[in-house]
Structure 1
Amino acid sequence: MFFEGAEKKAEIQTDLKQISLLNDLPDSFWKTLVSCCKAQVLSTISNPQCKAFLLSESSLFVWDDRLLILTCGETQLVNSIEYFIQQVGTKKIKQLTYQRKNEYFAHAQPSCFGDDMKQLSPYIKGCAYRFGELDGHHNYLFHYENDFTALPDDKTYEFLAYQISETASELLTSSNISAEKIREFLSIDSLLPDYVIDDFVFKPYGYSLNAIKEDRYLTIHVTPQAGSSYISFESNIDLIVVAPLFIDILKPLSFDILSFNEHEFSQKTLPFKEANYVSKSLVEKTLPNGYHVNFANFILPQLQFTQPTQLSVEGENHAL
């Protein structure tokens, strides 16, 4: 069974003097916003600083002055962004960033990054970049071009693991696996002892987790199927520091790290090279909106031959 795990991501920052996203917009607004991209809200957790929605395809986080939404599969996140702009108005938006990662089967998506930019162009103008090589792992990134400047301590991290080990894939695709077992496997409860956690195991495969504490968050999304395995971690806590633990658990053949405003990126990623991973892409840029962005793709060189993957020629198959 194939599922496109790679997420589309949007972060929108708003003017708190004009609107409080937590207090001025009801849950019905967020459910409608999510439905615009053909996803649904499964459950919600909250504290005074943050509300986290677990979705049928990834997650939505809302704070007073910003929102973060990630959606996977064949969702059209750009429709949700358009809905937000139409309902709230551009004058209340301080900054907007939109990302799309390289997908396993991009041809199966209802739109591409360029299509999404054309859809947003009547509302906002901005700059677009590609971080990483076109024929390898990469991230497309668009941001609203205005007079906004990001605060230096506004940091976020993404750790994306591809082609996890056979052992990890077999455990995560085992029948009737529980959320508790997956959290134990990933060491989540020990890493986040004081966080409120909301998670869900999908059938037949897949797992999502939201965790919040005050204004801090972590979200994890697991697509464990062998052949297209992908596990994403997104947070405003330092994932580069804890990445060696996840690498040891998952043993991926490759992984990406993307950070915003982490100025010690090169020094912090040195341990990955010591673990025999090779950096295939290293991209760095300070954007006009003040965000300092680093992107790195690490691969584990293969030392022996493997067998080819046999494909089905019957019926519909994204892989053909």
Structure 2
Amino acid sequence: MFFEGSEKKAQIVVKDKQLSLLDDITDDFWTAFVQCCNAQILSSIRNDDCKAFLLSESSLFVWHDRLLILTCGNTRLVHSVEFFIQHIGMDKIKQVIYQRKNEYFSHAQPSSFGDDIKLLGQYVTGKGYRFGELDSHHNYIFHQDNSFQADKLDKTYELLAYQISDRASEKLTTVGLTAQEIRQFLQLDKFFADFTLDDFVFDPFGYSVNAIKGKKYLTIHVTPQANSSYVSIEANINLIKIAADFLAILAPKSFDLLSFNDFDFANLTNEFIPKNYVSKSLVSEHLSNNYFVCFANYILPQQKFMQATVLDLAGENHAL
């Protein structure tokens, strides 16, 4: 069984003096918003600063002045962005940022990054970048090119783990595994004990969790199948400092780190990333919207030969 865990991501910042996304927008709007990319809301949690929706394909976070949405699988997130622009209006929007990562099965996706940006270009003038090598892990970022300037304290982090260990994959594909057991395996209580958590175990495999505390957020999405395993962790708390703990649990063969506005990225990665991982790609760029973006792809050099993967020639074409 194959599932595309790699997410598409969008962040939209609005003029909060004209509109509060948290107080002025109803849940019916958010339901329609996520349905535009073929996702559904499973549950939600809220505090005074943030509301987090757990989706059938990843997550949606809403603050007073912005939203963040991630969707995996074969979703077309750009359609949700288009819906938001059409219903809210560009006159109330300060900034649009759209991201896509390299996918396991990009040819099985209904659109490419280029297709998505052509659609967004009907509404937004922007700039596009690729962070990372084309023949390896990479991340595409498009952002609106206008007068918006991000606050230097607006920091976010992404840790994206690929090809997790057999031990982790077997644990996370155990039949009947509960959400509490996965929380314990990922040691979430160790780092996020004072966060409010909302999680869901998918059938037959897969796990998602949202966590919020004030304006702080964390989201983790697990696709544990051995042939296409992928775990994404995103937060606006410093994931680099706790990356070693997650890497010890998941033991991936490769992972990516992406940060927005961490100006100490190089020193932090040198200090906290285990030395058995080697950086294959290091990219940084100061965008015109004042986000300083850093990307690093790490690999675990292999010392032993492994067997070739036997293909199911009668199975899904995109798995060949």
Using the size of structure 1 for normalisation, the TM-score is: 0.99
Instruction: Give the equivalent residue in structure 2 for 1:126.
Output: 126
C-alpha separation in 2, matches of 1:109 and 1:209: 24
Task: Indicate how the Cα distance of structure 1 residues 160 and 132 shifts in structure 2: closer, same or farther if over 3 A, else same.
Answer: same
Q: Is the 8 A contact 1:256 1:296 kept in 2?
A: yes
Instruction: Give the equivalent residue in structure 2 for 1:104.
Output: 104
SS of alignment partner, residue 43 of structure 2: strand
**Structure 1 residue 315: Cα displacement:** 4.0
**Structure 1 residue 318: Cα displacement:** 1.5
C-alpha separation in 1, matches of 2:280 and 2:272: 12
**Structure 1 residue 317: Cα displacement:** 3.2
C-alpha separation in 1, matches of 2:250 and 2:183: 13
TM alignment of 1:66-77, pairs within 5 A = 66-77=66-77
SS of alignment partner, residue 318 of structure 1: helix
Instruction: Give the equivalent residue in structure 2 for 1:225.
Output: 225
Deviations along 1:170-199, one digit per CA (max 9) or x if unpaired, are: 000000000000000010012111111000
Q: Is the 8 A contact 1:8 1:99 kept in 2?
A: yes
SS of alignment partner, residue 194 of structure 1: coil
**Structure 1 residue 310: Cα displacement:** 0.3
**Structure 1 residue 138: Cα displacement:** 0.2
Task: Indicate how the Cα distance of structure 1 residues 274 and 246 shifts in structure 2: closer, same or farther if over 3 A, else same.
Answer: closer
Q: Is the 8 A contact 2:51 2:61 kept in 1?
A: yes
C-alpha separation in 2, matches of 1:164 and 1:307: 17
C-alpha separation in 1, matches of 2:61 and 2:50: 7
Task: Indicate how the Cα distance of structure 1 residues 273 and 51 shifts in structure 2: closer, same or farther if over 3 A, else same.
Answer: closer
TM alignment of 1:108-257, pairs within 5 A = 108-257=108-257
Instruction: Give the equivalent residue in structure 2 for 1:41.
Output: 41
C-alpha separation in 1, matches of 2:73 and 2:135: 21
Q: Is the 8 A contact 2:240 2:273 kept in 1?
A: no
**Structure 1 residue 316: Cα displacement:** 2.9
SS of alignment partner, residue 238 of structure 1: coil
Give the AA of the match of 1:115: D
**Structure 1 residue 64: Cα displacement:** 0.3
Q: Is the 8 A contact 2:60 2:69 kept in 1?
A: yes
Q: Is the 8 A contact 2:243 2:273 kept in 1?
A: no
Instruction: Give the equivalent residue in structure 1 for 2:294.
Output: 294
Give the AA of the match of 1:16: D
Task: Indicate how the Cα distance of structure 1 residues 274 and 169 shifts in structure 2: closer, same or farther if over 3 A, else same.
Answer: closer
Instruction: Give the equivalent residue in structure 1 for 2:94.
Output: 94
Name structure 2 gaps, 5 residues minimum. Answer: none
RMSD: 0.8
User: Do structure 1's residue 23 and structure 2's residue 6 form an aligned pair?
Assistant: no
**Structure 1 residue 272: Cα displacement:** 5.7
C-alpha separation in 2, matches of 1:214 and 1:198: 15
Deviations along 1:38-95, one digit per CA (max 9) or x if unpaired, are: 0000001000100000000000000000000000000000000000000001111111
SS of alignment partner, residue 21 of structure 1: coil
C-alpha separation in 1, matches of 2:60 and 2:236: 14
C-alpha separation in 2, matches of 1:7 and 1:271: 28
Name structure 1 gaps, 5 residues minimum. Answer: none
Give the AA of the match of 2:245: L
Deviations along 1:261-313, one digit per CA (max 9) or x if unpaired, are: 00110011114665211100000010000000000000011111100000001
C-alpha separation in 2, matches of 1:248 and 1:274: 9
C-alpha separation in 1, matches of 2:251 and 2:23: 43
Instruction: Give the equivalent residue in structure 2 for 1:10.
Output: 10
Using the size of structure 2 for normalisation, the TM-score is: 0.99
Instruction: Give the equivalent residue in structure 2 for 1:275.
Output: 275
Please identify runs of 4+ aligned residues in structure 1 that moved more than 2 A: 271-275
C-alpha separation in 2, matches of 1:293 and 1:108: 28
Q: Is the 8 A contact 1:208 1:221 kept in 2?
A: yes
